[in-house]
Chains A and B, each alone.
Chain A
Amino acid sequence: MTEVQNNLAGKIDHIPHHLKNLEPYLKVLDSNGMIVDYTKAVANVRTSAIARYIEDRFGDRTCRVWRCILHRRVVDDKTAGTICFMELQELRARAYSLLEDGLIEFQEVPKTTQRESVKSSFLYKTSLAWSIRGMNVHLMRTLRNLSVRLDRERGINQQLLEKADGKAIPGTDKDNSAVVSATKKIKKLTTAQIRILTLLMLFYSESITERML
């Protein structure tokens, strides 16, 4: 506590106020010490990361549906529609896209003996652990596909990449443009790979980070 205050002295005002803001993650001990609750902090980071991912992929309305289901844990489609200000048809379509990625699960509640899907209602349920599991699987598959593609691209464009490494590029302008486009493609794939891995390492439950906890 005192060490933190000494480090920040003169740089930031109202340190006790900021420490109060950080109360969900910090706990000041009587014995002049401090506890950092990493589990809570990491859970919060994971929730916001999943929300951002859904928002990027399916749009903010789908993200609203996911947030509602996560908050309620188990919710039927009519209630979810009322909370999210959505029509039943739209809600079902959005929930289905979440279901496809394994971020939620649902249960059918039939109203008739014939189990007609139009008349029956659905219960949607999810938890943070379930969503993390879904994200894990999805990201791993994407990452694997990316790395296979990257290897294939490298194999195909091996000569061009060697030329790019050698800097001196003999040949025509057409060759040069091919080298530039191949290098660009590889760079783009590598960047995507690193970005996905950063997300994945956040969700991978047996990651080295988590073993510390």
Chain B
Amino acid sequence: MSHSNPLPPSLHLAHTILHSHFGPLTSPTYLTLLIHGPQTLTQLHPTKQTKHALITAIHHNFIRVTAPRITKRTGKRQTYTIDVSAVMARYEYPKYAMIAAKMAGMEGLYIVMILAKIGRAPANVVIQEAIKMRNTLLPDKLKKALELLMHAQLCETVDENDTWEYAPELPETKPKTPIPIPTVLLRMEIEQRDRHKIEDINNNTKYLRLCVRKFQTLIRDQFIIDHAVARGSSKVMEAVLRAVRRKSMHPLIDTDSRKARSFIVIKYTETPHSSLRDDRGSE
């Protein structure tokens, strides 16, 4: 690409990564999405190649698909957007593999490598592929490693066609009163917990994928421990951050103020979760 390229540096980099990882056949579709932003399938010219590119992107979890909007002009349409930060995270996969290796040994390393390569797959396929890659690996040990990764929330299960983690579902009619943000976040947290059920490993209809957010959190916490804290207190900070990670994946907001959103609160009372679960059950 020449210097006169109109893309800003972040999109330029994203395009380079996608081109180098997924080849020249899919890259025109991704470039169109990067230049023009959210696009419908019709706007992307629905050829076989475009559809293939979109499916690849969905499987590798770097595309955001909005819920269908009904407009008078175009009818029912979904729009596709590339998530640039998810694309950049692809370069960090070697680091993720090292984290998994520390946690679950050689088996963990190979599981992350397979999931980075395929995007998402049922547990049995992941195990088969790992054994194909290295003959010495045992299925039982691989399964145990998978359980460990699921327990640490580094892997999660999704449906085959699940498109994006938190794509908001647009309600048909506008609600009269807006849903408060803490409730939305708590619901997200419960949904997140549903994705880490260890028994889902035996369910072949459930697909496994890497939980990039969790890996990112681990890396960020390590940064804070290494660089923001004095050496003597680093172990205490490590213990605190571990406690935060164990308590919640998402921030639990105790006030509605904007500033409070930047805090993550650990609370030792489980009341907000249990009350929300009751609400959910009654629905």
Q: CB within 8 A of B239: which of A4, A25, A200?
A: A4
A residues in contact with B261, CB < 8 Å: 213
Q: Is the CB of B233 within 8 A of A18?
A: yes
Query: Complex Cα distance A25/B237, Å?
Result: 9
B residues in contact with A141, CB < 8 Å: 9, 13
Binds B, one of A42-50, A111-119, A165-173: A42-50
Interface members, chain B 255-277 (any A CB < 8 Å): 261-269
A residues in contact with B212, CB < 8 Å: 208
Binds B, one of A69-77, A79-87, A120-128, A142-150: A142-150
Q: Is the CB of A4 within 8 A of B265?
A: no
Digit string of A184-206 for contact with B (CB within 8 Å is 1, else 0)? 00000010011001101110101
Residue in chain B with minimal CB distance to A48: B227
Q: Is the CB of A137 within 8 A of B236?
A: no
Interface members, chain B 87-109 (any A CB < 8 Å): 88-89, 91-92, 94-95
Given contacts A48-B228, A144-B9, contact A36 B244 (CB under 8 A): yes
Binds A, one of B32-40, B47-55, B218-226: B218-226
Q: Is the CB of A33 within 8 A of B266?
A: yes
Residue in chain B with minimal CB distance to A190: B94
Given contacts A35-B264, A212-B250, contact A42 B237 (CB under 8 A): no
A residues in contact with B265, CB < 8 Å: 29, 33-35
Given contacts A11-B235, A22-B233, contact A34 B95 (CB under 8 A): no
Q: Is the CB of A38 within 8 A of B227?
A: no
Query: Complex Cα distance A167/B268, Å?
Result: 55
Query: Complex Cα distance A41/B244, Å?
Result: 14
Q: Is the CB of B268 within 8 A of A3?
A: yes
B131 sits at the interface (CB 8 A): no
A residues in contact with B264, CB < 8 Å: 35-36, 38, 213
Interface members, chain A 27-69 (any B CB < 8 Å): 29, 31-39, 41-42, 44-45, 48-49
Q: CB within 8 A of A198: which of B95, B239, B244?
A: B95
Given contacts A31-B267, A147-B16, contact A212 B243 (CB under 8 A): no
B residues in contact with A2, CB < 8 Å: 268
A7 sits at the interface (CB 8 A): yes
B241 sits at the interface (CB 8 A): yes
Query: Complex Cα distance A26/B243, Å?
Result: 13
Residue in chain A with minimal CB distance to B20: A151
Q: Is the CB of B220 within 8 A of A21?
A: no
Residue in chain A with minimal CB distance to B220: A209
Query: Complex Cα distance A18/B217, Å?
Result: 23
B residues in contact with A49, CB < 8 Å: 227
Query: Complex Cα distance A8/B240, Å?
Result: 10
B residues in contact with A34, CB < 8 Å: 240, 243, 265-266
Query: Complex Cα distance A201/B95, Å?
Result: 12
A-B contact pairs, 9 of them (CB 8 A): A18-B232, A29-B265, A37-B262, A45-B227, A140-B13, A190-B94, A193-B91, A197-B88, A204-B10
Residues of A near any B CB (own CB < 8 A): 2-4, 7-8, 11-12, 15, 18-19, 21-22, 25-26, 29, 31-39, 41-42, 44-45, 48-49, 136-137, 140-141, 143-144, 147-148, 150-151, 190, 193-194, 197-198, 200-202, 204, 206-209, 211-213
Q: 7 closest A-B pairs (Cβ-Cβ)?
A: A140-B9, A39-B262, A18-B236, A18-B233, A197-B91, A44-B228, A209-B216
Known: A37-B262, A39-B262. 7 other contacts (CB 8 A): A4-B239, A12-B236, A33-B267, A36-B241, A141-B13, A143-B13, A197-B91
